[in-house]
Chains A and B, each alone.
Chain A
Amino acid sequence: MLSRLASQRLIEVRQAFRLSAQVYRSFSTALNYHIDGPDNNPDLPWEFSEANKAKVKGILSHYPSNYKQSGVIPLLDLAQQQHGGWLPVSAMNAVAKVVGVAPIRVYEVATFYSMFNRSKVGKYHLLVCGTTPCMICGSREIEGALLKHLGVERNEVTKDGLFSVGEMECMGSCVNAPMIAVADYTNGSEGYTYNYYEDVTTQRVVEIVEMLRRGEKPPVGTQNPKRIMSGPEGGNTTLLSDPKPPACRDLDAC
């Protein structure tokens, strides 16, 4: 009897350990420190292009001259567009110089926002939404499918330089969860777009990736053929008739 009890307890303990081993924590902002690489180190020169210099002036004109640091976020965004979707450390230093603050103040901002990519990304940066509704609807599986299909780790670029996978916070289409956003840098800094692909499944994301690889443009929005935009599957189920007018006392009766 005692041995049975003991073995039962042992199983429980084992299960508890197995559970905790599976627990992992993911951070959407990737590494919080810089690792020097051949294409990302402070010694590389980096400057805004001539066209962007005019834009920089325009951005800075929005802020009082003694609060130039307010323009850090738009300037970082501009720098990221110019550099093909990611920010090398020298670009952040250039932004710091423009706004006149210490580089660390710019690093703080850039590490805070997951939309700034501080490591190299592909032409198509696939961003899987990792916020609660999408996660419940299986965004982890979708990310896993993408990573498996492309054969990369998170925040890593495929060998052909086309794809990379990252995580993004809620993009507000929770009704069509799960969803991915594809940052498309194929047209350079001028015509870059964010495309949302919603209601994706593990098969569908692979199809989308293959379509993008072939240069096609998969239709954005919901990927569920039975849904129209964020409407319910198979047509409306509520609000089928004209809405009733609000209750109101009979004004004529008075």
Chain B
Amino acid sequence: MGLGLLTSRTLKSSRILHSQYSRFRPIVTKPKLQSPDASSAAAAAPQPETTPSPPKKPVGGARIHFTNPDDVIEVFVDGFPVKIPKGMTVLQACEIAGVDIPRFCYHSRLSIAGNCRMCLVEVEKSPKPVASCAMPALPGMKIKTDTPLAKKAREGVMEFLLMNHPLDCPICDQGGECDLQDQSMAFGSDRGRFTEMKRSVVDKNLGPLVKTVMTRCIQCTRCVRFATEVAGVQDLGMLGRGSGEEIGTYVEKLMTSELSGNVIDICPVGALTSKPFAFKARNWELKGTETIDVTDAVGSNIRIDSRGPEVMRILPRLNEDINEEWISDKTRFCYDGLKRQRLNDPMIRGADGRFKAVSWRDALAVVAEVALHVKPEEIVGIAGQLSDAESMMALKDLLNRMGSNNVWCEGTGTNPSADLRYRYLMNSSIAGLEKADVFLLVGTQPRYEAAMINARIRKTVRASNAKVGYIGPPADFNYDYQHLGVGPKTLLEIAEGRHSFCSAILNAKNPAIIVGSGLFEREDKDAIFYAAETIAKNGNVIRPDWNGFNVLLLSAAQAAALDLGLVPESSSSIESAKFLYIMGADDVNLDKVPADAFVVYQGHHGDRSVYRANVILPSAAYSEKEGTYENTEGRTQQTLPAVPTVGDARDDWKIIRALSEVSRICLPYDTLLSLRSRMRTVAPNLLHVDEIEPATFGPSLSIDCTQEINLTPFKAAVENFYMTNSVTRASKIMAQCSAMLLKE
């Protein structure tokens, strides 16, 4: 010990001397790399013993999870000891040690390919540099990431990668967020030696969402692996070999996945970029707002990139519990719907049937005038599928104070069971679905209703060969499933134990039943739920340690609406309505509304219901307001405004608050905070952001149902994946998608 210290001190002092001399030497760039002899000599020279550097923070928040304490091994990264579980790769060990290894082909959510060679590191006693992404870490391994050998290896790989890569960064949409750019700045050489012609590759047509410039491709095969493993469409492949190698589909084929937009994110270069975003903006001039997606009930975490008043693109945010790091194409590309068909002025329909733009004061006065002159039981309110919890609370309060209790959210049916929370939530949580080994999908098509949940199911099916049974109309999922039947008949058979699938449920460790919320609209809803609960009871689906009874909701507002008790008093209230307050509900059937009813439409898009309205009150879209949403698993999340509202539009709850004042029944809150504290008295879980509030009671409380089940087959809840709400219906990109991709 003492001797070692002494030697290190002497060595240090000699180094100081050395540096004094070096002051007079001419400056040479990377002198060690100029001659291989010098670098090998430097590597061979005894390195002075340095004390281990203080631990760095793991790269990208990498976490380690030790399942078994015996499986812990210790490796040394740049001389610093790291404890990792067995089976991790060298690259992951380096990440935990806080050393960022450059990589192109490696992606933590995809299988390991090891073909880009960018992650080369030096491992002691290994004759060659080692591709760290593909090499399992072994106990006591001494990994060196900043030796001249590793640096030279990276430089060499980078030179090869840049050989055939075009120098078109100025016209490339990836410029500024390109892995190749960044890593060639950090790890590449300052010159290349390639003097021949660069190759060029024919661009492929992958559909209306993904733009390809295949000459820029560096053959990392991330997109191929993503399409095969996560998206489940085996269309992309690696064709040819050697320098003629290219990514393609061989035959002309569009990418018909609902997750295809994610290849844009995983492509490390500009080979796959967003077609709608092409040449629209540079990433450094965009302002990112971290918010929540509302196009389906999943509540994917997204980042809205905006420039000025305009939403330029939408990107996913990492959330392991909900969307991992993917989002569906509808989430990603619906943003141009936010710029079209917008309602920007309050309008009143005149005597001639034409709309006329008026001031807020006039519009609210007209609405209040009518509202005060109808009977309370003739007042009806319907919240839309994009409504936030605050505005639904305000709407319910307003209508209740007017004396009516006929307020509900579209899609929850006329008789929702809001008292039993487990009946409308995904009780096993989205991440919890990975533990399941048998799925029974009842009247739901997760691929079209909630693409991210479908990705979870697919992940589970791939990882553990979980069995999937499906009852509903014929559908194409991107994993193997057993089509058990089309309607309640099969469900009854399983409930009564007469079906062959029963044994699968009985033998399963963690069976999961997913009931689609499209069934909410059926008359025999209770009977169907009773049958599903019988299956759950028989199959031991609900246990203290596992709750596999799930309901998959369709829209972002439903869970919060039911939590807040937006339940209509009578199921036929819409037929006798004289004053109908529609808050963004466009999928509700308005044919039964009496002709003399006064309809107020409050919303952000001129979609379906607006044509029946007498007064239009423009409100803010989800990208423009702060609002609380609860996703299908009961997780509360909040949106943040990314862009200002258009025209004269206002926040939903503010409009209702203003209306209440004009109607002289002033609601007792005038800030978002006080509205939220009102919400706390009704549903306290809506204030616990990013937390799941599990359902307290199970089916033990539900009463036996005597309702007769109707044997008509289940219908598909979502006809067109790309057009499900007013924003997506206004979007041109979504229209293109449904025209091109659904045709196939």
Interface, chain A (partner B; CB < 8 A): 20, 23-25, 27, 29, 32-34, 36, 42, 89, 101-105, 107-108, 111-112
Contact = CB atoms under 8 A, between A and B. Distances in A.
Q: Which 9 residue pairs are nearest across A and B when measured between Cβ atoms? A: A102-B234, A27-B244, A104-B237, A107-B250, A32-B240, A32-B239, A111-B239, A108-B237, A34-B251
B197 A23 contact: yes
Nearest to B244: A27
Given A25-B243, A36-B252, A107-B250, 18 more contacts: A25-B196, A27-B240, A32-B240, A32-B250, A33-B204, A33-B250, A33-B251, A34-B252, A89-B251, A101-B234, A104-B249, A107-B237, A108-B237, A108-B238, A111-B239, A111-B240, A112-B239, A112-B240
- DSSP class of B's interface residues: helix, strand, loop or mixed? loop
A15 B240 CA distance: 34
Contacts of A33: 202, 204, 239, 248-251
Given A29-B244, A33-B248, A89-B251, A107 B239 contact: yes
B252 to A, nearest CB: 8
Contacts of A20: 196-197
B515 to A, nearest CB: 32
A29 B240 contact: yes
Interface string B227-243: 01000001111111111
A27 B199 CA distance: 11
A205 to B, nearest CB: 26
B369 to A, nearest CB: 64
A144 B202 CA distance: 26
A108 B196 contact: no
Nearest to B199: A25
Interface in B190-216: 196-197, 199, 202, 204
Contacts of A29: 240-241, 244
B389 to A, nearest CB: 44
Contacts of B242: 27
Contacts of A104: 234-237, 249-250
Interface in B237-286: 237-246, 248-252
Contacts of B250: 32-34, 89, 103-104, 107, 111
A20 B236 CA distance: 34
A108 B219 CA distance: 14
B235 A32 contact: no
B646 to A, nearest CB: 44
Interface centre among A36, A108, A112 (most CB of B within 10 A): A108
Given A20-B197, A42-B251, A111-B250, A32 B236 contact: no
B744 to A, nearest CB: 13
Contacts of B196: 20, 23, 25
Contacts of A36: 252
A240 B102 CA distance: 59
Contacts of B197: 20, 23-25
Nearest to B202: A33
Contacts of B199: 25
Contacts of A24: 197
A108 B239 contact: yes
A121 B243 CA distance: 24
Contact of A32 (B228, B234, B244, B252): B244
Interface in B391-431: none
Contacts of B246: 32
Contacts of B245: 32
Give the interface size class of chain B.
Answer: 20 to 34
Nearest to A20: B197
A109 B215 CA distance: 22
Interface centre among A27, A33, A36 (most CB of B within 10 A): A33
Contacts of B248: 32-33
A89 B239 CA distance: 14
Contacts of B228: 102
A23 B196 CA distance: 7
A105 B250 CA distance: 10
Contacts of A32: 239-240, 244-246, 248, 250
A112 B236 CA distance: 15
A61 to B, nearest CB: 25
Contacts of B238: 108
Nearest to B235: A104
Interface string B360-379: 00000000000000000000
A87 to B, nearest CB: 12
Nearest to B237: A104
A98 B245 CA distance: 26
A105 B237 contact: yes
A104 B248 CA distance: 9
A109 to B, nearest CB: 10
A108 B234 CA distance: 12
28 contacts: A20-B196, A23-B196, A25-B243, A27-B240, A27-B244, A32-B240, A32-B245, A33-B204, A33-B249, A33-B250, A33-B251, A34-B251, A34-B252, A36-B252, A89-B250, A89-B251, A101-B234, A102-B228, A103-B250, A104-B250, A107-B237, A107-B239, A107-B250, A108-B237, A108-B238, A108-B239, A112-B239, A112-B241
B201 to A, nearest CB: 8
Given A34-B250, A89-B251, A105 B234 contact: yes
Contacts of B249: 33, 104
Nearest to A24: B197
Contacts of B252: 34, 36
A37 to B, nearest CB: 12
Nearest to B240: A32
A23 B195 CA distance: 11
Interface centre among B228, B234, B239 (most CB of A within 10 A): B239
Contacts of B234: 101-102, 104-105
A101 B237 CA distance: 13
B270 to A, nearest CB: 20
A187 to B, nearest CB: 31
Nearest to A89: B251
A104 B224 CA distance: 10
B597 to A, nearest CB: 55
Contacts of B202: 33
A89 B625 CA distance: 53
B497 to A, nearest CB: 32
Contacts of B240: 27, 29, 32, 111-112
B251 A111 contact: no
A42 B253 CA distance: 12
A36 B240 CA distance: 18
A108 B686 CA distance: 51
B243 to A, nearest CB: 7
Contacts of A23: 196-197
